[in-house]
Structure 1
Amino acid sequence: MAVGALFKHWSLRLFAPDRILQQTYEGFKALLGFDGRCHELMAEFEVLYHEGRKEDLARTRGRYRQLAEAVAGMIAALEQMHPGIAGSLRDYFNKYDFYARLVLAPPERFLIPPFVVDHNSPAEPSLVGNKSQHLLLLKHEAKAQVPDGFTITATTFDLLIEHNRLRPALDLLLAAIDLEVPLSLDEASQALMTLIRRMELPPLVAQEILAEYDRLAVTGPDEILRVAVRSSALHEDGDHSFAGQYHSLLGIDRDGLLAAYLEVLASKYTPQALLYRIHAGIGDEDAAMAVLVLVMVESVASGVLYSRDPSVTEGQSLLVHSIRGLGLPLVGGAVVPDVFVFGPESEHPTRIVAGNQRQQLVLFQGQLQEKDLAADQAATLSLTQAQAARLAAVGRELERFFVVPQDIEWAMDSEGHLFILQSRPLCRESSRTEPPAKITTNPLPAKCHPLLANAKRAAGGVALGVIRHLDRLEQAALDSATVLVTRHIAPSLVRYIDRLAAVICEQGSVTGHFATVCREFGVVLLVEATQARVLLPEGQEVTVDGDQGRVYPGKIDALLDSSRKKAKVAGSPYAAKLRSLLDHITPLHLLDPHSPEFRPQSCRSLHDIIRYAHEKAVQIMFGLGDIAAGGAASRCRKLATELPLDIYLLDVGGAFANEEQQAAIAPESLQAAPFLALWQGLSSPEIDWQSHLHFDWQGFGDMALAGGIASGGSKDFASYAVVSPEYLNLNMRFGFHFTLIDCLCGRDSRANHCQLRFAGGGGDYQGRSIRIALLRQILGRLGFEVSVRADLLDARLMGCPAGELLDVLVAVGRLLGMTKLLDMVLREEEIDSRVQLFFQKADRFHGSTTSIIP
């Protein structure tokens, strides 16, 4: 606290108290605004954590910045009200603000080479991503055959963002995504992808990429070298698969390589990829994109191998899925593959299920083309049993190598060479659901016939919901009980994953990327559901038995009661950050303002700082009348009234409707709702003002609050009110007691409050105590929180709507007028009857303040 500011404050308080009053009041209004915003934002953080809401970390950082600014604003406003009172509060705010920002800080990145790495040795996943690292391990340690290639590192992505100075713009767009407003996701995605596609590549990086391509071209085939450009983002193919969320571009030549690289980077910001990452709780900076470049395999057959059946808990079967040509239609769920099922360690398939393929995807002269299969090809399996057995052996070897079941993409060329294109941990239902023994233990009701049967299980479980058809899909109509029926699985379906109970697809595949995502998120998925769009009408409530491949009309309790439950998603990185952040924000330790520990040094969170600042501000306003009584005469005007009360009003914000400087102002000329409500009660005809005199309480007021004895001698016996249209601070000295009222009554009920202090009296201690007991009962019934120490009463009412608070002020005015000398005559046995009489008469005043609501 600067000495100059403190000296100025006390100089003004001595020589220009009216300016201090205005300054204090303006500071108080600002502080209350900041206080309200702080509590709104703390509530938003609580909802995010306790209700499991999701948002991008950039949005959370922005939310926290708003909170920090509001807390800092409270401290600044408190200093404006009374320089020096905040003490070391700002130091403690800076401390906890630092801790909170540290929790939310992005990971530190070192923008140093290598920017491109060849595949001549293993590399760290933090550099090349899991997908690339797995292939390098297979090549160098498992001695599996993988295509030649290289990886553009995740460091390069960070370098490009820095080189193009995009981080502020990316964060701004990410922070604008509100998952409750789907359009915001689309708009942000479009802008983000445009920024990435337009990035400038530093010449050194572009040269390194093309040099690696040229190296591959020298050792490759004589014709133009074609490569596949695939994502290998950090976190992809790890605890979260990100299956199908990013783009892969096939058949790329040298001229198109750099543009293809940028396009794969841009796919980091497709709507479905954004939504997946946000729901996985991973920050944008934590998911930097490495890109894998592999020589294309001219495959005659390709597919997906599951070293364990993902849809059967504890299942030991190995599944080989195969189609002719490139595997893109298979992982996209657009074709039904041939399936070879192998038992544990079996060298021969125990079951073969023929697929349904009429076309194959091939690379022809650098272009992807769909070609019709010849009749003999369509009628025969895409693999021989020997080839399938060979694949099964490789799958078992890779499972042993990685120690966990694997999800493997493979390709076979015309010479029978087998290439592993990808190997990642297999997402199985067993890791997210209860054992299947609990399923179908209850018999189905009689005459319970399915609407659809014989669909294939891709992700099991039982779900209840309402049918929606994809061709009529509207985002606004979706909720968490939607059963989506579709002909095929579009990539954009992932963006609705959190609102789907089940998906039923007429085509689709167990091996599709969407099936992997459904197993991750616990969404039931049925594929190969023939005529589902005909058999399942829009709008019908159904129960989907994902384990048996059936759909029943209505709610089938027998299935739902015994079904496996969706597992709770394991704690995400976002949830962990949010929990740590809340530990610095929301705990409240400063509970008792009267405790000696109620001080800045005891603050242990931002909530403590907010509480301290608010309480001190209210205490300052509670004593504001003393400044007015001390000589703020330049802007004071006496209230014109026939009552035997001398009340001087100080306007701090538009209370005087008539700006002409006159000696007195009538109540009807005031625009001061709290004061007028109190005055309505004080001037009630039931109150006798003629039989009692004033008393000089200038010295006694301060003394009474301190528990001392009046010394007398003061001639300043007037009452002072600081007023505005929404605010009242009144020091009232009448009868033989002292009353102080501080009230804010505006449109924001959360900021509204009324505080009252009552002390002194002309009777003996017993009489004053009896009157205090009466006041305590009445104020308690009016909604006040009341505390009493001897003959000193403090009461507080918080968070009351304006209309109700004005009615309370009328009652308080009546109460003050009616009890001014009761300490001399009131008997203890009369308390209950007096309380009852007070509230009987109160009915006539209820709602009478409507015309003066600000």
Structure 2
Amino acid sequence: ERDVMLISCVWGLGAPVVEGRAVADQYQVSRRFPYNPEKTDIACKTETLVPRSGGGTEMVSIAPNLQATACLPPNQLKRLAEAGLMIEKHFKTPQDIEFAVDSAGKIIILQARSLMVQFNRSRIVGDLPAILRDHPAIFIGKGSIVQRGIGIGRVFIVYRDEDLDVFPRGAILVSKYTSPRFAKVIRKTAGIITDVGSATGHMATIAREFRVPTIVNTGVATTLLRSGQEITLDAEENKIYDGIIKELRNYHLAEDPIEETYEYRLLRRVLKKISRLNLVDPASRDFAPSSCRTFHDIIRFVHEKTVEELINLNYDRHANINANGGKLKLSVPLNLLLIDVGEGLAETTGRKTILPEQIASIPMRAFIDGLTAPGAWNTEPTSLDFGSFMSSMTRTFFPGLATPRYIGQNLALISKSYAHISLRLGYHFNMIDAFVSDDDNSNYIYFRFMGGVTDMTKRSRRAQFLADVLAKNDFRVEVHGDLVVARIKKLSMERIKRRLNLVGVLVAFSRQLDVQMVNDQQISLYADQFNELITSTLNLNMQELSHHG
């Protein structure tokens, strides 16, 4: 039976079972979570092999009350089933596994070897086309195969990181984006399908490491699949079938000759020191140099900290860079200094003023196009109520910007594909960090906003407005009081540029918006106004951005 695993167990040492000299309890356990026993045969066990005092072993009688008692309680049976499937998944072939349970109930795997069984391949191959015809394909040939294999289970759509906390074992993870945080459930999942992603991303590396069948960048997974739906993920042929096709999984298990070779296993052991990724969550306390175990860990740590430093570049560091640059002349009152660190500007030698058309930086130009869009920047004076006025009197500049040299100074560090923009508009601070290129996997936008002139209630309403707009356009958003942090990545060049257009409009539109946020209803009111603005000025549609980004 291919849908069950057979577990045999006796009291004491296992040699009599291996040698066929003793009767044993027999359990046929389902291979599918929660691994329920489908058939149980509890033997009458009269003798057991135990260690002998002074060395060696001996057969002794079993106490009468234990002779007809099951050796394994249900919880240990399920843990054994789970361990057996993990070992089979690692070697990708059925396994003959020996185990022991100590006096504390801890399961110890003693050894595992390939179970030399022969499957009737001709029957499976002959029947397979007819079987597949009975199962309609939901979609075919969408996206890229990251890790080959067959995954069978129920769909579980992950919308937020919190969803991973309740991810059910044996489910197929479906998400709009790939994320290294999927490592949290990688041992539980039967497969992964995403709308957006790359075969060279961090999550793809983790999927290959754990041999989880994975297809990314399908563009349609979260639209066509629904949570709870039973599907078969065929990452061999890049097909997603409706329903469970057990024969397809069986056929896949019957093939796999190379992974039984000595050379393959030797390479696997070597690669554990080179490519295994242990540092998967930058937010974890263990994300530190002392936790690096492989070369891959070192590269991951250095990359993450490098990006973090770029994002946190301050004004002093900008000012000390010896690079080409000057003040940007705009149609809106923004005192912005550009610093070119590599092909970010067209030829500007001898000029202290830079015109927008001289900007060669792709992300910077996209942002400026949005920032200066007609109707985005309101130049009318804004009236303050007494409470907001008093709040502004008690608020001070950010300490790092308090020197006269930097008061009112806005800076942008740019290159051909990169822009780091630090803005201080009134009493709030805005930072945009973006990379735009032909490589979808490298593209990203990081947005950070904090502060305002009014009290915390109004500032928080503006923050919620920003969060709602960004979330509707597929940014991953965090809000804490008046602080908004948003990220989006792995989009095509045109799509990431359109998001930067939108961010530019959003920065201009929300510049003095906290003063207007007199009640919670204003949040949705201004969101509607913003939608109308970008539709009319940039010919962008928020719904189009959300569905096709």
Place the TM-score, normalised by the shorter chain, in its bin. Answer: 0.3 to 0.5
Larger Rg: 1
Indicate the structure whose relative CO is greater, using CA pairs within 8 Å and at least 6 residues apart.
1
TM-score, normalised to structure 1, is 0.31
The structure in which a higher percent of residues are helix is 1
The structure in which a higher percent of residues are strand is 2
